[in-house]
Amino acid sequence: MVQINGIPILADIAIGRIRVYQEPQSASETGRGEAFERSRLERALAQVGERLGQLYEKALRETGEEEAAILEIHQMLLEDEDFQDAVNERLAEGCSAEYAVRQAGEDIAQMFSEMDDNMKARTLNIPALVQAHIQPEWDGKLAVIDGVNGVLYVDPNQEILSAMNQVKAQIQQRRCQLQELKGKKAITKDGRSVLIYANVGSLYEVELALENDAEGIGLFRSEFLYLNREELPTEEEQYQIYRKTLELMDDRRVIVRTMDIGADKKADYLHLDAEENPALGYRAIRICLDRTDVFRTQLRALLRAAVHGNLSIMYPMIASLDEVLEIREIVQSVYEELRSEHIPCRMVEQGIMIETPAAAIMSDQLAPYVDFFSIGTNDLTQYTLAADRQNARLARYSDPHHPAVLRLIRRVVEEGHKAGIWVGICGELGADPALTGQFLEMGIDELSAAPGSVLGLRAHVRELDLAGGTP
């Protein structure tokens, strides 16, 4: 048995065989005509759909709903409108069915790869370890991921298997119990309440948020609309996505973060220069205020979509009051432009992300000009502690529990409430049970987490008694 330590991302257990990814064989790019290739594709999809249905039923009987869910996700992908549109575009360009499907799948994979490992695992509710290196010769070997203690077991003995299966059963029981919390509020035993929203980056994740009974969307990462394409998304493309999201969420609040792209995220058509430290570079609102054409297009789509639901907009990487004032002028100009064109639109609640120490320190000056603060704890931590969160060697220095980080969060909450605005957290700390009680004591109004963490966070809040000393 081989035992390897890693950094756990999700407190869960996974048992199965290791599969080392290998590049698939290449497919011929050129097809035999759109009609012919489309016919081949439709036959293949029908066969795959039928086979997936059979495998799902088999897995449901033999391994349970949790393990069978992965097959359901594959089926959902085949039926996804964005995936189908991407395939159809390539068929219309003369590509073979195999090549069209492969490229559409790679586009989705690339978009997903832009997320960090933590975000991927938490979004999909998959037990995961980082910094646990897999050897190619382990392909096919039985393994256990202990996401509770941060251990990978390769060729585990019977004792380990039994212990892990027992923990897995306990986690599954807990998950079933959490389902009973759907429709209930996150209120502590002593009466303190908090809204629990979800962080999402696609329409699929919006559905996951609803499945987990999120009270709203605290962070809609709009940059997924801009990645892995050859040109900027049009106003109409964006409008349709925002509209569909709002309609899915009905009257629940949806907070869309405007384009948060920089040199670390691939958008070649923006012609961004390579940077040694893109986290501190030309990104997010800095690009938007330079490229107002790009910014105005997104704002037009958002204000148009706002008539279909409960939309709020927030702006990332704010570091000065001048930026906020300039944004407000642009938004007002876009709103008046739409009105003059007799296009249905609506002015919405606007907030800013507090993710730079400058914004946190100046929160008293910023608060009168916005409707809410949303604290991005991931970036706030790395900027406050001067520790790149993507650098594994700096993990010991990137401590989100650091007193300096918590002091800044407290200051933001206090200054926001003095100005009469609400304050939320949309970074990873929002789902950290070790800090939930402290955040509620500070007066945080909203916590936003990965969809799979929503019900667990709600349960934790309901178990707290801050007046009785159980934070």
143-159 pLDDT per residue, tens: 888 887 888 889 999 99
- Kindly state whether residues 423 and 337 are assigned to the same domain: yes
Mark which of 130, 146, 161 sits at the end of a domain. 130
- Kindly state whether residues 108 and 196 are assigned to the same domain: no
Residue pair 230/269 in contact (Cβ under 8 Å)? The answer is yes
- Kindly state whether residues 125 and 188 are assigned to the same domain: no
Q: Strand pairing of 422-425 and 151-154?
A: unpaired
For the residues 421-434, what does the mean pLDDT come to? 90
7 in a domain, yes or no? no
pLDDT at 27 over 70: no
Please give the residue range of the domain that contains residue 86.
21-130
Q: Lowest-confidence range among 167-176, 367-376, 399-408, 436-445?
A: 167-176
Q: Considering its fold, how many domains does the chain have in total?
A: 2
Tell me the C-alpha distance between 66 and 244, whole Å. Answer: 28
- Kindly state whether residues 117 and 251 are assigned to the same domain: no
| Amino acid in position 378 | N
Q: 287-308 burial string, b = 16+ CB within 10 Å, else e?
A: bbeeeeebbbbbbbbbbbbbeb
211 in a domain, yes or no? yes
- Kindly state whether residues 186 and 297 are assigned to the same domain: yes
- Kindly state whether residues 230 and 101 are assigned to the same domain: no
199 in a domain, yes or no? yes
Residue pair 374/349 in contact (Cβ under 8 Å)? The answer is no
Place of tokens 């036959």: 43
What is the radius of gyration, based on Cα positions, of the chain?
23
354 in a domain, yes or no? yes
- Kindly state whether residues 125 and 190 are assigned to the same domain: no
- Kindly state whether residues 60 and 191 are assigned to the same domain: no
Q: What is the pLDDT of residue 87?
A: 82
Q: Looking at residue 104, which CATH number applies to its domain?
A: 1.10.274.10
Say how many CA atoms lie within 13 Å of 365 toward its Cβ. Answer: 13
Q: What is the pLDDT of residue 77?
A: 66
Place of tokens 């832009």: 114
- Kindly state whether residues 231 and 330 are assigned to the same domain: yes
Dihedral (C-alpha) 311, 286, 330, 381: value to the nearest 10 degrees? 40
250 in a domain, yes or no? yes
- Kindly state whether residues 458 and 329 are assigned to the same domain: yes
Tell me the C-alpha distance between 347 and 334, whole Å. Answer: 10
Q: What is the pLDDT of residue 26?
A: 63
- Kindly state whether residues 364 and 290 are assigned to the same domain: yes
Q: What is the pLDDT of residue 346?
A: 97
Confidence class for position 131, pLDDT limits 50, 70, 90: low
Confidence class for position 6, pLDDT limits 50, 70, 90: confident
Q: What is the pLDDT of residue 265?
A: 66
Q: Closest Cα partner for 302 from 342, 260, 349, 265?
A: 349
Mark which of 130, 152, 169 sits at the end of a domain. 130
399 in a domain, yes or no? yes
For the residues 94-102, what does the mean pLDDT come to? 82
137 in a domain, yes or no? no
3 in a domain, yes or no? no
Confidence class for position 65, pLDDT limits 50, 70, 90: low
Average pLDDT, the chain: 86
- Kindly state whether residues 111 and 220 are assigned to the same domain: no
Tell me the C-alpha distance between 101 and 232, whole Å. Answer: 22
pLDDT at 118 over 80: no
